[in-house]
Amino acid sequence: MTDHSTLSGTPDRNWWRGAVIYQIYPRSYQDTNGDGVGDLRGILMRLPYIASLGVDAIWISPFFKSPMKDFGYDVSDYRDIDPMFGSLDDFDLLIAEAHGLGIKVMIDLVLSHTADVHPWFVESRSSRDNAKADWYVWADPKPDGTPPNNWLSIFGGSAWQWDTRRMQYYLHNFLHEQPDLNFHHPEVQEALLDVTRFWLERGVDGYRLDTINFYFHSQGLEDNPPLPPEQRNDQTAPSVNPYNFQDHLYDKSRPENLAFLKRFRALLDEYPAAAAVGEVGDSQRGLEVVAAYTSGGDKVHMCYAFDFLAPDV
């Protein structure tokens, strides 16, 4: 696998401090086969140009196998490349060329949810007693058949989708085709850490962690309380979405996440130069979450929130 050392031969664990990280959205970056969609070989072609800009790392948006209902943020196979972007061989070439040019490679890792066609969810929804029955967040309806609580999706409507196979609701903070994984289940955490290790072994230098504060939910499934109108803003969801009317105490930014992030960081620390940056989607307490997730040197290295995009900050 790829050598994780710097060009001088000495690993630099702090390379990310002050680093310039260049984001690449593969499908619109460079098309090399004429199908109108950018691909990994297109990124490979442009690496010398990127190196000439003096960047320290590239962050590649999702390229995993996906039905593309959310443009790759709905993963159906964490260990393979979607054919529209190329192959694992293409990715290996990209890693080797980037490292040869002194560029580190970070990739987008979507852990909070999968696509509904992911084999894990296909098995989970097949019955209430299969091996992965509790890998996702399932809940019985209220006596009147309505969803178990008032949680809302960032993309609109209820965060609960009825499933006729299990006769239960499943949680989705985004599209209903993006069921949320149940991080309270130890096997789910192990499976996701195995995915993390897979790409580290393939040579990646780190991760951008999508929706890092959405990993855990409250197992009590309590209703979120209302948010006073003067505290509402449209940083997390569009202003027309009533998602902004709630104080999201129970569906995200849960304290249980800190223990998982410590496990995640311990894995990264096995690799001399691996680093991670988390996306925090919480307009009410975003900077508090950023501080908690980056504290102590034992969770993620960096986080960003959207507070500084607001006009009143």
> 């691996």: which residue's tokens?
274
CA distances from 3 to 12, 191, 203, 213 (A): 13, 25, 7, 31
In this structure, how many other beta carbons lie within 10 angstroms of the beta carbon of residue 147?
A: 18
How far is residue 35's CA from residue 225's CA, in Å, rounded to a whole number?
48
Residue 178 tokens read as 């993006």
Q: Catalogue the active-site residues.
A: 210, 270
Residue showing tokens 């190196």: 51
Judge whether 20 and 55 are in contact, CB under 8 Å.
Answer: yes
Q: Are 253 and 289 in contact (CB under 8 A)?
A: yes
Question: Angle at CA 152, nearest 5°, toward 148 and 153?
Answer: 125
Q: Give 127's contacts (C-beta < 8 A, 6+ positions apart).
A: 133, 165, 166
Question: Within a 10 A sphere around the Cβ of 299, how many other Cβ atoms?
Answer: 23
Task: Compute the distance between CA of residue 64 and CA of residue 59 in angstroms, rounded to an integer.
Answer: 14
Contact call for residues 304 and 280 (beta carbons, < 8 A): yes
**149, HSE (Cβ side, Cα atoms, 13 Å):** 23
